[in-house]
């Protein structure tokens, strides 16, 4: 949420009002759950103001009341699933990852409600004071994805259908989650199974478990499955198998098109060479294959003979024209370009699905249900 100055207040006042609320001792256990990055929690508003003064002097840009002075994240957790310390650490990591460490921020964890939640505020002006953070298309989605990844890495559940809660306040959203049989129990749900398995790791020997299963990789797998709507193992296996088949199909087609283009180009080259050296070879025959003539025109004679041999190997009784070959070459080249674009997309999709399935199999100890299919190790 972008924070503006608003009407009837100064830049300093806008920052102070917001920060005072976030750092409220009654909400943060007397400031116990406040952390900051590249600023001091006690002087954060002054430091934000100084950075903006530097920005103005460096760039000369001033948007006045339309300017975004900071950005606010509110990150909530289900009652009882995290301690204030865990919540604050997760909020800090979220801000650090999302801003790539280029912007100062504070994280204030509120514990005065049943649901522990973070208020994160980062300065819109960078640490170097020469640029500003700008919202980009899909920034809220990107932020949610980073938040989901971090939560999954920490063994916390993520909202399966975040869009379904849009427009609801937190209480209404939690109420909707509490409705029994919200998710059918008669059919295994891959997302639930994975989250349950990852949550199991929070017990004794957690570090060893996390290392064994590569927790960050498993978190990425969980988010990928969620984004793709893959909550059934059989569907995942089917899609993975189909992706491999599609990749191999396109690989084969690319090889075929490559061969056609190479053959076409080689034939054009040999026809041109044959035409250029034809008169020399005729004169060579007229000279009754004279050694002296051959020594004087050896290169042309060898090239002509090689071209003739090439045509014989192709069993060509009549040579096509170079013009017709070029006309055939152009659409084949376009087909190759189109196929290569499809190939790259298919390769990325196959890699994501095969890797995801392998991670799921490793985490859930799933037995392979489909025969292995060979992947062409074709590098493009």
Element (H, E) at 110: strand 105-110
Cα separation, 173 vs 171, in Å, equals 5
Does the pLDDT value for residue 157 go beyond 50? yes
Are 29 and 111 contacting, i.e. CB atoms less than 8 angstroms apart? yes
CATH 1.10.287 fits 235-364, yes or no: yes
Q: Three-state DSSP class for 71?
A: strand
Are 224 and 356 contacting, i.e. CB atoms less than 8 angstroms apart? yes
Q: For 178-214, where are the alpha helices, taking DSSP H only? A: 190-200, 206-213
Does the pLDDT value for residue 373 go beyond 50? no
Per residue in 352-362, pLDDT (tens digit) is 898 888 888 87
pLDDT confidence of residue 292:
93
Does the pLDDT value for residue 167 go beyond 70? no
Cα separation, 279 vs 276, in Å, equals 7
pLDDT confidence of residue 202:
58
Does the pLDDT value for residue 6 go beyond 80? no
* 203 phi, psi to nearest 5 deg: -85, -150
Per residue in 92-150, pLDDT (tens digit) is 999 999 999 999 999 999 998 888 999 999 999 999 999 998 887 778 888 988 898 88
**What secondary structure letter does DSSP report for 17?**
H
Read out DSSP for 343-374? HHHHHHHHHHHHHHHHHHHHHHTPPP-S----
pLDDT confidence of residue 230:
85
* Domain boundaries defined on the chain: 2-135, 235-364
Cα separation, 74 vs 149, in Å, equals 16
Element (H, E) at 87: helix 84-99
CA 28 to chain centroid: 36
Binned at pLDDT 50, 70 and 90, residue 181 comes out as: very low
pLDDT confidence of residue 380:
39
Residue 337's contacts (CB-CB under 8 Å, 6 or more residues apart) are: none
Per residue in 27-39, pLDDT (tens digit) is 999 999 999 999 9
Does the pLDDT value for residue 175 go beyond 70? no
Does the pLDDT value for residue 204 go beyond 80? no
Q: Exposure pattern of 103-138 as b/e (b: 16+ CB <10 Å)? A: bbbbbbbbbeeebbbbbbbbbbbbbebeebbeeeee
Read out DSSP for 256-278? HHHHHHHHHHHHHHHHHHHHHHH
Tell me the range of 132-136, 157-161, 175-179, 288-292 where mean pLDDT is highest.
288-292
pLDDT confidence of residue 217:
77
pTM over 0.85: no
Does the pLDDT value for residue 231 go beyond 70? yes
Are 357 and 236 contacting, i.e. CB atoms less than 8 angstroms apart? yes
Longest CA pairwise span in the chain (Å): 111
Q: Give, in degrees to the nearest 5, the angle at Cα 232 between 177 and 76.
A: 30
Q: Of all residues in the chain, what percent are helix, strand and coil, respectively (each to 5)?
A: 60, 10, 30
Looking at every residue in the chain, the average pLDDT score rounds to: 83
Q: Three-state DSSP class for 101?
A: coil
Count of CA atoms in the C-beta half-sphere (13 A) of 64: 2
Binned at pLDDT 50, 70 and 90, residue 182 comes out as: very low
Cα separation, 69 vs 3, in Å, equals 6
Class of domain 2-135: alpha beta
* 28 phi, psi to nearest 5 deg: -115, 20
Q: Exposure pattern of 307-328 as b/e (b: 16+ CB <10 Å)? A: beebbeeeeeeeeeeeeebeeb
Q: Three-state DSSP class for 199?
A: helix
pLDDT confidence of residue 200:
64
pLDDT confidence of residue 75:
92
Per residue in 66-86, pLDDT (tens digit) is 788 899 999 999 888 889 999
């Amino acid at each position: 949420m972008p924070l503006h100055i608003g009407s009837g207040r100064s830049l300093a006042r806008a920052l102070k009002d917001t920060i005072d609320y976030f750092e409220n001792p009654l909400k943060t256990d007397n400031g116990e759950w406040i952390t900051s990055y590249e600023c001091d929690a006690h002087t954060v508003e002054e430091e934000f103001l100084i950075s903006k003064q530097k920005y103005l002097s460096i760039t000369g840009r001033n948007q006045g009341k339309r300017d975004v002075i900071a950005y606010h994240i509110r990150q909530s957790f289900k009652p009882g699933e995290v301690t204030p310390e865990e919540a604050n650490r997760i909020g800090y990591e979220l801000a650090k990852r999302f801003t790539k460490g280029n912007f100062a921020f504070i994280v204030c964890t509120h514990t005065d409600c049943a649901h522990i939640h973070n208020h994160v505020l980062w300065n819109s002006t960078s640490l170097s004071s020469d640029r500003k953070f700008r919202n980009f298309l899909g920034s809220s989605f990107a932020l949610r994805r980073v938040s989901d990844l971090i939560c999954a890495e920490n063994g916390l559940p993520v909202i399966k259908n975040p869009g379904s809660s849009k427009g609801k306040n937190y209480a209404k959203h939690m109420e909707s989650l509490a409705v029994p049989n919200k998710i059918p129990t008669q059919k295994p749900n891959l997302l639930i199974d994975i989250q349950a398995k990852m949550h199991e790791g929070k017990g004794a020997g957690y570090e060893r478990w996390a290392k064994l299963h590569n927790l960050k990789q498993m978190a990425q797998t969980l988010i990928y499955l969620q984004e793709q709507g893959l909550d059934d193992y059989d569907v995942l296996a089917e899609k993975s198998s189909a992706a491999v088949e599609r990749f191999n199909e396109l690989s084969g087609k690319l090889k075929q098109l490559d061969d056609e283009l190479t053959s076409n180009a080689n034939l054009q080259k040999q026809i041109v060479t044959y035409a250029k050296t034809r008169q020399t070879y005729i004169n060579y025959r007229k000279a009754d294959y004279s050694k002296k003539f051959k020594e004087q025109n050896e290169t042309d004679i060898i090239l002509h003979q090689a071209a003739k041999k090439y045509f014989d190997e192709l069993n060509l009784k009549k040579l096509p024209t170079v013009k017709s070959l070029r006309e055939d070459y152009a659409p084949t080249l376009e087909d190759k370009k189109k196929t290569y674009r499809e190939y790259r997309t298919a390769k990325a999709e196959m890699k994501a699905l095969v890797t995801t399935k392998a991670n799921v199999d490793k985490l859930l100890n799933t037995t392979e249900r489909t025969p292995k299919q060979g992947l062409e190790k074709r590098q493009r």
